[in-house]
């Protein structure tokens, strides 16, 4: 699959490189006992740059669980997704007027798409336990080396409550605005 090496933001005409790895290491986070996990931050955005995010995870890329939902919406957007319940997600709405929240089916999550370029960036679940998200790996600024091939999945038989619980357990917690 070919990828573009640069893009131009409409408003500022400032080129944004897709070539350099937008990855940074964060200080370790203590977990069980005294073990410290080192998180890596992966940057992503829609094509025009109106919706940006940082996805922090301690999981090595080759251990990411990448899923390609087989519903018509996800297939239509070419979405393959991943999440880390021990990670952290932060969104930046550079042009908030271009954010479109879309709900369909059981209406349990907001799918975040860009009104300008049409990119499906992520989905967000809002619950009593907070906000949780998964990212579309195809919206990462650079596809990480050793990224697993997405596995086709279907969630047809789930009730709305089962779907919410699964997502709250397996998606990445969001900090900051959603």
Strand 51-57 relative to strand 110-114, pairing = unpaired
Q: pLDDT band for 175, please (50, 70, 90 cuts).
A: very high
Statement: residue 13 has pLDDT above 60: no
pTM for the structure as a whole:
0.79
What mean pLDDT is predicted for residues 23-30? 52
What mean pLDDT is predicted for residues 4-12? 33
Poorest-pLDDT segment among 3-17, 37-51, 140-154 = 3-17
Domain boundaries, the chain: 17-173
Each residue's pLDDT tens digit, 91-143 = 999 999 999 999 999 999 999 999 999 999 999 999 888 999 999 999 999 99
Query: Smallest Cα–Cα separation from 137: which of 41, 51, 68?
Result: 68
User: In whole angstroms, what is the distance from residue 115 CA to residue 39 CA?
Assistant: 32
Percentage with pLDDT > 90 across the chain = 75
**17-173, CATH topology level:** 2.170.150
3-class secondary structure for 19-64?
CCCCEEECCCEECCCCCEECCEEEEEECCCCCEEEEEEECCCHHHC
């Amino acid at each position: 699959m070919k990828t573009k090496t640069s893009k131009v933001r409409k408003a500022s005409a400032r080129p944004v490189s897709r070539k350099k790895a937008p990855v940074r290491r964060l200080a370790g986070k203590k977990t069980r006992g005294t073990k410290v996990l080192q998180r890596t931050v992966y940057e992503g955005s829609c094509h025009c740059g109106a919706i940006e995010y940082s996805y922090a995870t301690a999981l090595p890329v080759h251990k990411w669980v990448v899923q390609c939902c087989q519903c018509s919406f996800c297939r239509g957007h070419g979405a393959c997704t991943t999440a880390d319940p021990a990670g952290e997600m932060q969104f930046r709405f550079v042009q908030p007027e271009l954010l479109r929240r879309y709900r369909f089916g059981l209406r349990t999550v907001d799918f975040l798409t860009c009104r300008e370029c049409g990119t499906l960036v992520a989905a967000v679940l809002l619950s009593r336990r907070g906000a949780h998200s998964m990212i579309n790996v195809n919206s990462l600024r650079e596809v990480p080396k050793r990224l697993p091939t997405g596995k086709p999945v279907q969630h047809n038989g789930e009730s709305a409550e089962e779907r919410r619980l699964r997502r709250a357990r397996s998606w990445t917690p969001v900090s900051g605005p959603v």
